[in-house]
Amino acid sequence: MDDDRFKGRFLGVLGGMGPMAGAAFMTRLIALTPGECDQQHVPVILWSDPRVPDRPAGHAGQGVDPLPWMQNGVNHLVQAGAQAIVIPCNTAHLWYEPLAAESGVPILHIVQAVIDDLRRQGVDRGHVGVMGTATTLKSGLYQRALEAQGYECITPAGVRLEQCCADSIHLVKTNCLDQAYAPAAEVVTELRRRGADAVVLGCTELPLAIPHARRAGLGIAMTDSIDALALAALEWYRHSEE
């Protein structure tokens, strides 16, 4: 079990929130890895426990606290050999500080990954539209970080747009990916009309609602929190030492 041959820089993925976002992270991590054979890919352990209590309800104090569940997952990943961790769930990052304080290994922050991806796309200032769960948006998770780094934020304020975000996320969670596109695209279009130079898909269900092939048609730079996190993980893997 402790044979040196098997050691390596394993990435730990705390998935399950929701399960499809964790699987999509795996798919994109692999698709974004340059390589000609299996052996060039990043070793990964995915802990996908979809029983983690609902994050928005927990954050509102109206449900079971999800933090111990997430800590349990992080502990299992570290014990199994993960040397860095990613969490492909934006709302879960509301518990980033207590998770990172106890993990013992770095947790790559999804919001910083998104901001790095904006810069990678040449968007280094201006107005950024942020989409996500109502909980993520109300918490200011993205807005604080974006404003601290020189951006101005536009959120999908208003009952209709908030409902569109929520509907799209719910449709992805119920495996209705085709139907999830229209409400998400409506929000992107409205954020663009309000002056956004780029849009952040700040919930890991949203990149599944607006698949890559349909993005160019929306006519605005878009950063996808799944791809951004996968690119951050690949950077970590390239630059870390065993």
Q: Where along the sequence are the contacts to a second copy (CB under 8 A)?
A: 1, 3, 5-6, 8, 10, 16-20, 22-24, 26-27, 29-31, 33, 35-54, 68-69, 72, 75-76, 79-81, 173-175
CB of 107 to a second copy, least distance (A): 18
Reduced to 3 states (helix: H, G, I; strand: E, B; else coil), residue 34 is coil
Closest CB to a second copy among residues 143, 168: 168
**Six-digit token string for 5:** 């041959």
Q: Which position has the token pair 């605005």? A: 220
Closest CB to a second copy among residues 175, 179: 175
Closest CB to a second copy among residues 24, 146: 24
CB of 117 to a second copy, least distance (A): 20
Asked if residue 18 has a cis previous peptide bond (ω within 30° of 0), the answer is yes
**Six-digit token string for 88:** 């492909």
C-alpha 66/C-alpha 57 separation (Å) is 9
Closest CB to a second copy among residues 155, 168: 168
CB of 67 to a second copy, least distance (A): 12
HEC sequence for 187-236: HHHHHHHCCCCEEEECCCCHHHHCCHHHCHHHCCEEEEHHHHHHHHHHHH
Calculate the CA 73 to chain-centre distance.
17
Pairing between β-strand 44-48 and β-strand 10-15 as defined by DSSP bridges: parallel
Positive or negative: CA dihedral 154, 160, 161, 166: positive
**Six-digit token string for 166:** 């929520």
CB of 144 to a second copy, least distance (A): 27
